[in-house]
Amino acid sequence: MFSLETKRAVITGAASGIGLAIAQTLAAQGADVILLDLDETKAVEVAASIGQNAIGIGCNVAEEASVTAAFARIPLPASILINCAGIAHVGNLANTTAADLDRLYSVNVRGTFLCMQAALPAMLSSGGGVILNMASIAATRGLSDRFAYSMTKGAVLSMTLSVAKDYVDQGIRCNCISPARVHTPFVDGFLKKNYPGQEAEKMKGLAASQPIGRMGQPVEIAHLALYLCSDEASFLTGCDYPIDGGYFNLR
């Protein structure tokens, strides 16, 4: 079960965190994986650690020319696209600036759009494929001080449903995953930048906010991604999958 032999998967934001865990998990199941990341050096290094079935390519998902160039470097068409690249922001309506909003939109929304659009022609010409987007519980639940971030993840969810509807007859399945808090290097850097000197306290708060009593691990998100990208999930499209330690239903 869950074999991805003969499959080729493109994962954005793949040099660390959830994207890296997904790339490693899919590669272990036989997929050829293409790791796209803003940090090309790290993407190449991580790909080398995965093995011969992995390639690292630099890509700024917010820039159309960069996305086009990155997809042009993929040796053969990909049948799986997983959009993990994303950035966050702390702020409410009053203290979020227009520049903050534009910065998050450019990566989280525009970046997801550009990569889906770049992957689409190959999927259509080959009879189908799988698109998996990384949304968030912020898309459907109110989170304090996450105004701009929540907006972008709501857009990712809406784009997912739209693509699923428009391309279901062409063999393309499109779903999204909505994690709660997941412990990644991104979280560590985020706390260090926004809450200097309070990292340990904030880390405990993030863990306690899930009813299960801890943050998720990247590999747990990767296991769900593996299922949704596999043929075992061939009857699933147009769905948002919370993986949140009980946050959505038990709080």
3-state secondary structure of 237: coil
Query: Sheet containing 129-134: which strands, arranged edge to edge?
Result: 54-58, 32-37, 8-12, 80-83, 129-134, 172-179, 240-243
Residue 154 identity (one-letter amino acid):
G
Residues 6+ apart with CB under 8 A from 237: 164, 168, 173, 174, 175
Query: Torsion angle, CA of 232/73/152/196, rounded to 10 degrees?
Result: 110
CA distance 217 to 94: 33
Catalogue the E-assigned strands of 38-139.
Answer: 54-58, 80-83, 129-134
235 and 241 in contact (C-beta within 8 Å)?
no
In the residue annotation, 149 being an active-site residue is answered as yes
Residues 6+ apart with CB under 8 A from 99: none
Q: Which of 105, 149, 195, 241 is catalytic?
A: 149
Listed residue (80, 104, 71, 82) closest to 31, CA to CA? 80
And the tokens for 65?
């020319």
Q: What amino acid positions are annotated as catalytic residues?
A: 149
